[in-house]
Amino acid sequence: MFKLRPHQLRAVKSMQRRDKGQLIMPTGSGKTLCMIKDTEREFNGCPWDLFLKTPERKVTVVVAPRILLSQQLSEDFEESLGINPMLQYKILHVHSGDTHHNSTTNAGKILEWTKDNYRYNKLIFTTYHSLHRIQESGINVDTIYFDEAHNSVKRNFFPATEFFAGLEHIRCFFFTATPKHSYSLSHAGMNDKEVYGKVITKVSAPELVEQGVILPPKVVVKEFEKVAKAEQTNKTDCHHLIESIDEVNVDKILVCVRRTQQIINLVDEKNTFCGDLEKRGYDLLYITSKTGGYVNGEKVSRETFFSTLREWGNDKSKRFIIMHHSILSEGISVPGLEAALFMRNMNYITISQTIGRVIRKGDDDKKFGIVAVPVYDKVGISTAKSVNAVVDTIFQKGEAATSVVR
């Protein structure tokens, strides 16, 4: 049984006292467990009888920005709720991804599934992209959790968000480490209390560092001789990336590249990058929406890619480099990561989310999460400034990395 930490207990109690609100909690604070414990309480508070036709049980919806995160959330809920045989619930996925659970994006089938399982509590996992399908189905939703809720302000996602937030009977909670605000009538923002409610829980990173929940980041800026844009080559990227990996000198490193083509160039047979990593004892994984997933040069399914990543992440003897452009920045849990290496600049939200990948507690020898930036051009200079600004905001001032929608 998972035990709630003080900040998580505070969050769960705030949800029990209110029907709507924002929970601003740093990456690595355990937001998912707060949702799970709230769901457990809701399902437990609903008496039912399998043999008698009774009113519909509780319907809980969990919204995520990506299919991969939705699938991960489903696994996390199952692992925790499965311990309690009294909950009696069914799971449905509403997105276009592969899953062993019932899955559909057809509004009629969502309604049919809900009616067929009237004797059970129901958990529905979806994405912001597919949330409107649940709206179109017309089913009654009792509780909805918006994970990485800053995504909900996007133009194509906000209408369904606003719809559910406006229902009178619903419990509606927005979880994020990086809220988005707006001061324009033409853009949605989480400072719209009519839709998002008030902030009902706010947890600071320094509080979690002090409690030993997460680690502080250590920023390492690796200075190189400046290279003009016209003079940059694949060999330049390869050389500087390898030197930065040597500088960091840890076993498990996440590399954020500038674009998919940079990965393709780095692993090209004409370059020495893969051989240089092999000499240092590193395995290589990379994944982008364009290329799919690769493990040591072999193309694999996404399921195999992430199962390998989890296995290697939990293996203390494994040394690996994982490269990506954006897929791993938000929400996806990658165990064991010790450092993030930025080859490109990002917005405050993505930088904050990426840093969150490496500040999770590991073994006792891990004292901080390393955030490294190789600087050899204008991109590196601006990236280093942005990373330092985010770290100062979150870990020194204890504020959330709030951004403004333009």
Q: What residue segments make up the domains of the chain, in order of their start?
A: 6-203, 211-404
Classify each residue of 313-343 as buried b or exposed e, where b means 16 or more C-beta atoms within 10 Å of its C-beta.
beeeebebbbbbbbebbbbbbbebbbbbbbb
Whole-prediction pTM:
0.89
Residue 31 main-chain phi, psi, to 5 deg: -65, -40
Short-list 102, 382, 351, CA closest to 221: 382
Q: How far is the C-alpha of 189 from the C-alpha of 389, rounded, in Å?
A: 22
Mean pLDDT of the chain: 89
Positive or negative torsion for Cα 298, 371, 71, 78: positive
Short-list 124, 23, 22, CA closest to 77: 124
- Would you say residue 349 has pLDDT above 80? yes
Are 63 and 147 contacting, i.e. CB atoms less than 8 angstroms apart?
yes
The pLDDT-based confidence of 57 (bands split at 50, 70, 90) is confident
At 401, which helix (H) or strand (E)? none
Lowest mean pLDDT among 178-192, 222-236, 314-328: 222-236
What is the pLDDT, as a whole number, of residue 271? 80
Residues 6+ apart with CB under 8 A from 295: 283, 284, 285, 304, 305, 308
Short-list 310, 382, 322, 316, CA closest to 346: 382
Same fold, 6-203 and 211-404: yes
Secondary structure letter of residue 294 according to DSSP: E
As a whole number, mean pLDDT of residues 157-165 equals 98
Query: Half-sphere exposure of 82 toward its Cβ, with a 13 Å CA cutoff?
Result: 7
Other beta carbons less than 10 A from residue 226's beta carbon: 12
| Phi-psi label, residue 8: left if phi above 0, alpha if psi -120 to 50, beta otherwise | alpha
Q: How far is the C-alpha of 172 from the C-alpha of 115, rounded, in Å?
A: 22
Span between the terminal Cα atoms of the chain, in Å: 44
The pLDDT-based confidence of 134 (bands split at 50, 70, 90) is very high
Q: What percent of the chain has pLDDT over 90?
A: 63
What is the pLDDT, as a whole number, of residue 30? 92
Q: In the CATH scheme, what architecture does the domain 211-404 have?
A: 3-Layer(aba) Sandwich (3.40)
Q: Provide the token pair at 44.
A: 């437990």
Are 165 and 20 contacting, i.e. CB atoms less than 8 angstroms apart?
yes
Q: How far is the C-alpha of 381 from the C-alpha of 366, rounded, in Å?
A: 28
Q: Provide the token pair at 350.
A: 């993505």
- Would you say residue 120 has pLDDT above 50? yes
Q: Does domain 6-203 correspond to CATH entry 3.40.50.2300? A: no
